[in-house]
Chain A
């Protein structure tokens, strides 16, 4: 009796120990697997590719401009054949006799031209002569003129000049033309002299009038 109980107790203990060892082995494998999983996870996260943002510079490619249109029209080398039915239109031949044509020479027209009547242009100065005045106008300004050296170098000491002038109502002198001047180089000085001269106002019937006369001037060096 004691022996059978002892045998059963030994078997129970053996079974319990085996079960404990099996459970311990399973748990130890699980712990080891967990440790290896942590190790693998750490390495995977370390070697995982990181999300990188890549910014690329984009250059817009401009399409090339279209080619210019062809200026030349395509030439078709294929010959064009026209097929016309019939013999074509009939051409009527006319026989025209050439006649001699006589043309009379026309008479030349006679043109009668009149000779133009040229009239001398005279300026109506609307001025009186010295004879119409009450008294003779008197020169108020002194006559000062310098003979050019080209004249004095020739030994000329006296020159006689004359000019048509108009003496206005206020005594101002206006030159019409130089009527006598043997030395053309004297013309500027003569113009200057006449322009600066002043006469007493010419009077006719008590009123100032305009007078025109020829003014002779004798110049002595």
Chain B
């Protein structure tokens, strides 16, 4: 499996994208924890959504290669099955990398929403104080 991951450029793209996504999410989490400031999360949302799509792209590329080799007639049943399995591996990798990012992003959103509601309540309290 490791050889398949290292030999496919789509997998490298997925891994780097997920790494950048995780780091951005962690930075937002630390920034929110220390300063209680919310930043723009548009970039993280786009990267998280791109992870499954990148996996799907790798699957499509692998299937196209398999079918192209089938057309030439130089492929047998076992090779075709292995090629399809390699192609589907990118989709699996994209989903596995996207799921933790989604969970982190959901946690960050909920924490920020709670903090925002709490700060609004304090502002109203100070505003109504004599």
Contacts and interface: CB of A to CB of B under 8 A. Distances in A.
Interface residues of A, number: 17
Contacts, number: 51
Interface stretch (A17-25, A82-90, A162-170, A182-190): A17-25
Interface string B22-37: 1111110111001000
B19 interface: yes
A23 B26 CA distance: 8
Contacts of B23: 21, 24-25, 28
A40 B96 CA distance: 11
B105 interface: no
Contacts of B48: none
B3 to A, nearest CB: 12
B123 interface: no
Given A27-B22, A32-B15, A35-B18, A20 B31 contact: yes
B26 A39 contact: no
Contact of A20 (B18, B30, B92): B30
A36 B104 CA distance: 17
Contacts of B27: 20-21, 24
B111 to A, nearest CB: 16
B97 interface: yes
A130 B39 CA distance: 176
Contact of A31 (B5, B24, B34, B100): B100
A29 B26 contact: no
Interface in B21-74: 21-27, 29-31, 34
A34 B100 contact: yes
Contacts of A38: 96
A36 to B, nearest CB: 8
A40 B100 CA distance: 16
Given A23-B30, A40-B1, A31 B93 contact: no
Contacts of A40: 1-2
B19 A39 contact: no
8 smallest A-B Cβ distances: which pairs? A28-B22, A24-B26, A28-B23, A20-B30, A24-B27, A24-B23, A39-B96, A35-B96
Interface of B: 1-2, 5, 15, 18-19, 21-27, 29-31, 34, 92-93, 96-97, 99-100, 104
Given A20-B31, A25-B23, 10 more contacts: A24-B23, A24-B26, A28-B22, A32-B18, A35-B18, A35-B97, A35-B99, A35-B100, A39-B96, A43-B1
21 contacts: A20-B27, A20-B31, A23-B26, A24-B22, A24-B24, A24-B26, A24-B27, A28-B22, A28-B23, A31-B104, A32-B15, A32-B18, A34-B100, A35-B18, A35-B97, A35-B99, A35-B100, A38-B96, A39-B1, A39-B92, A40-B1
